[in-house]
Amino acid sequence: MIAVVIPTYNRSNCIETFLEKCVAPYKGQLFYFQIHDSSESNDTKSVVDNFKQHFPNINLSYQRWSSDIIGDDKALQAIISVDADYIWLCGDGHMADFNGMETLLLKNNYVQYAIINVEPEERIGHRGQDCNKQISIFDVYQDSVLFMKKYFSHLSYWGASIVSTRFLKPIFKRKYIEKYREKNSIPWWFPCLLCEATINDKFAIYSTVYTPFVYYNPLKVNHGWTHDERYYIFCFEKMSIAMTLIPSKFQVVRMDMIRYFRCDALVSLSYVLFLRSIGIINKDLLYKYNVYIYEEPKSARLLQCMCLVPIPIAKVLERLKVSLRRLVRGV
């Protein structure tokens, strides 16, 4: 079976939508669901309890955590405790057609893969990558360095990977948790642990599939941590440190991993414009974190140039961008 692990915090509306749209229609046997909630109120618990009353036969569990726990630590403890063949760590902004996913995974004998990178179909060709990929076709990789070079960035998203517990659990040892969480508080610990796991299993096979069966919850808003100085700490400082901690065989593609991580979303032109419009992109913070930012010159130049755009102008451009997106989507 595959355990779908969903950490959440103060997003009862996202959980309600996920349960109604994704879990309620599920008729299969492959997936079971775990909600790990550290909310400050009982709203999410009430949503789950109400859902279980209406759908008592669905394999759904709920665990309450202290609201003081760090989200990454909660997720780590949750996946360590999983007793299943595979783990699918999902954020509360992730959605899936689990009936479609079950059919797709069984048809492609998913148990042969250590990691399955699950990509929404609209990401085909994103930032020039995988332009010729076909929908619902599993691409197989035996070279872990090439696989991580291409997909480390997306594997950092909760919801992007279905991982074998046989492959993953050997690295749930004290030294790895200490290395990435306790000593360095790396927010990108999950793909880093996947890199570590490739050392222990030299014969593992990896795959990527683009599918219409996964998509994003429209109720999930922007990451709150990108709205303050944590944006620089997480995206630049902690990412740079993480790249020095992963196994040495990945050092040959270190800059490629950093480059794609930045342009994938968090340091894209679109997102940087948004951050400039709320004042997070500014010369003082660029200077403070310049050692890490200038590791990758192209994105550093983008940030420099964006600082030259007056914030009032950035606000106007951001509103125009949002309006155009809504027009294109017909919203």
A 10 A CB-CB count for 247 gives 15
Query: What pLDDT score was predicted for residue 84?
Result: 94
Per-residue burial over 67-78, b = 16 or more CB atoms within 10 Å of its CB, e = otherwise:
eeeebbbbbbeb
- Taking Cα atoms as reference points, which of 238, 219, 225 lies closest to residue 289? 238
Query: What pLDDT score was predicted for residue 277?
Result: 96
pLDDT at 174 over 80: no
Average pLDDT over residues 172-191: 87
Average pLDDT over residues 13-19: 94
Query: What pLDDT score was predicted for residue 330?
Result: 62
Q: Specify the CATH number of the domain 2-216.
A: 3.90.550.10
pTM of the shown model:
0.91
Average pLDDT over residues 294-317: 95
Give CA–CA dist 109/86, Å, rounded. Answer: 13
Task: Classify the phi-psi angles of 16: left when phi > 0, otherwise alpha if psi is within -120 to 50, otherwise beta.
Answer: alpha
Instruction: Give me 188's structure tokens.
Output: 């990108």
Q: What average pLDDT does the chain have?
A: 92
Average pLDDT over residues 58-74: 93
Provide the angle, in degrees to the nearest 10, between the axes of the packed helices 71-80 and 189-200: 30
What are the domain boundaries of the chain? 2-216, 225-329
**For the CA atoms of the chain, what is the radius of gyration?**
20
